[in-house]
Amino acid sequence: MDSNWDKKRKALISRLSRVEGQLRGIQRMMEEEQDCEPVAQQLAAARRALDKAFFETMACAMEQELCNSSGKPAAEVENQIRHITGLLSKYS
């Protein structure tokens, strides 16, 4: 892969590491029987971070598909777009 993907991959790994820390903190909050509202706030923040990582990964998949589609017949490109759309529907 190119260096652009390497930078994106490193940023995603860093984001996932932060989410991992958030989840450990949430688990600790629950073990300490903290109030539900702050726990819910932290869960929502972790979910948003995971959503952002997911959409960045899907953008990468779309970029890869489109880069591989240059010079291909329109029907094949349409199939690639359907494939991406299916992935988005399946995982979001």
Q: What is the pLDDT of residue 33?
A: 97
| CATH number of the domain encompassing residue 21 | 1.20.58.1000
Quick: pLDDT tens for 34-87: 999 999 999 999 999 999 898 888 888 777 777 776 777 777 777 877 888 787
- Summarize the chain as % helix, strand, coil (round to 5): 85, 0, 15
Q: Provide the domain limits for residue 60.
A: 3-91
CA distances from 10 to 5, 52, 59 (A): 8, 14, 15
Number of domains, the chain: 1
Which two structure tokens, joined as six digits, stand for 52? 């952002």
pTM of the predicted structure, to 2 decimals? 0.71
